[in-house]
Amino acid sequence: MEYYIYQERSIQILSMDGLKNEAPRERKGFFMATIVRGKNLEITPALKDYVLKHEKKVTKYFENEVNVQALLSVEKDRKIAEITLKVDGVVLRGVEANEDMYAAIDLVYDKMIRQIHKYKTKIARRMKGGSFHDAMVEGPAVPEEDFEIARVKKFAARPMDVEEAILQMNLVGHDFFVFLNSETEAINVVYKRKHGKYGLIEPEY
């Protein structure tokens, strides 16, 4: 599998080892890195170029370093596009599926634009120094949503491995389970994905 790194309009193709060892260089001005990878799908130059061309729909709102990760996958007859954008500690993510991969890419970028429109006030407040161009958000203002915490629940983070955490999640009938990973000594979250599979969330510092 090949990984495409897009840096200031230049393309590099790296192996998994190359990707792990790659460190962005500090440069003056705008910097953008995009990773496009496939799951059960070959990333053709046309797909890669389509992701890079349309990512400007969302990256245009941000001034500082922007990192975009695109995962294009195929499950049975479903073409799935998953885009994750990271900038100044803010993470935007969208997933859409369609019979056509290009349509799925369009849909996921449109979803992320709606997220930016909905939360533009909070994003602008979170990102200091004018790095978010909220003035570029077109259309009528969306009423700001208050994030109300209805309940606070405490738990004992008992050390266990991932398999035991999944078992505990199923035993309590929840869709997710927070635990202390006995192998990494870090707080992790296991959760139920669609089609009966499971996911694991690990912290990244």
What is the tens place of the pLDDT at every residue in 138-175? Answer: 665 556 667 788 888 888 888 999 999 999 999 988 99
* Model confidence band, residue 80 (pLDDT cutoffs 50, 70, 90): very high
Q: Is 191 in the same domain as 119?
A: no
Give the residue with greater pLDDT, 76 vs 161. 161
Q: Which of 137, 142, 79 is nearest to 113 (CA)?
A: 137
Say how far apart CA 121 and CA 134 lie, in whole Å: 8
Q: Is 167 in the same domain as 92?
A: no
Is residue 68 situated within a structural domain?
yes
Give the residue with greater pLDDT, 200 vs 132. 200
Question: Range of 183's domain?
Answer: 159-201
Strongest mean pLDDT among 25-34, 56-65, 93-102, 186-195: 93-102
Is residue 29 situated within a structural domain?
yes
Are 117 and 142 spatial neighbours (Cβ–Cβ below 8 Å)?
yes
Is residue 32 situated within a structural domain?
yes
pTM: predicted TM-score of the whole model, two decimal places: 0.63
CATH of the domain at 166: 3.30.505.50
Q: Is 37 in the same domain as 122?
A: yes
Q: Indicate whether 14 pLDDT > 80.
A: no
Tokens encoding 116: 């930016």
146 Cβ neighbours under 8 A, 6+ residues apart: none
